[in-house]
Amino acid sequence: GENVEQHPSTLSVQEGDSAVIKCTYSDSASNYFPWYKQELGKGPQLIIDIRSNVGEKKDQRIAVTLNKTAKHFSLHITETQPEDSAVYFCASGNFNKFYFGSGTKLNVKP
């Protein structure tokens, strides 16, 4: 089955700095790559996603890049704010079967 690896497991940045989280996947058939934000006591919330026919997607301060050849994708958050502090999960999907990474705990220090 698919194997998704996510790094780093924890990330601490100063408010206003950028944060980058990286994931790799193993199944070349995967064609959908969502990123979820999970706050304490809540379910994962989709923040951005990208499909395999696109190399980059941006939504305000958040961007995702995908390199299908290398089988890796990354989440970029610019101008981080304290409310960005949460656990972020990447996932790879193929026809509605999702495999999740182990999560990155992001701490944005004011």
Partner 1 sequence: EAGVAQSPRYKIIEKRQSVAFWCNPISGHATLYWYQQILGQGPKLLIQFQNNGVVDDSQLPKDRFSAERLKGVDSTLKIQPAKLEDSAVYLCASSQHPERTDTQYFGPGTRLTVL
Q: Is 47 in the site for partner 1 (CB under 8 A)?
A: no
Looking at 84, 85, 93, 108, which residue binds partner 1 (CB under 8 A)? 93
To the nearest whole angstrom, how small is the minimum distance from the Cβ of residue 110 to partner 1? 25
Q: Is 44 in the site for partner 1 (CB under 8 A)?
A: yes
Nearer to partner 1, 28 or 102 (CB): 102
Cα–Cα distances in angstroms (integers) from residue 89 to residues 73, 75, 101, 110, in the given order: 12, 10, 6, 23
Report the amino acid identity of residue 71. Answer: K
Nearer to partner 1, 41 or 110 (CB): 41
Count of residues that bind partner 1 according to CB under 8 A? 26
Q: Is 75 in the site for partner 1 (CB under 8 A)?
A: no
State how far Cα 25 lies from the chain centre: 12
To the nearest whole angstrom, how small is the minimum distance from the Cβ of residue 17 to partner 1? 25
Q: Is 83 in the site for partner 1 (CB under 8 A)?
A: no
Residue 76 CB burial class (10 angstroms; 0-12, 13-18, ≥19): middle
- For 47, residues 6+ apart whose C-beta sits below 8 A from its C-beta are 35, 36, 37, 59, 62, 88
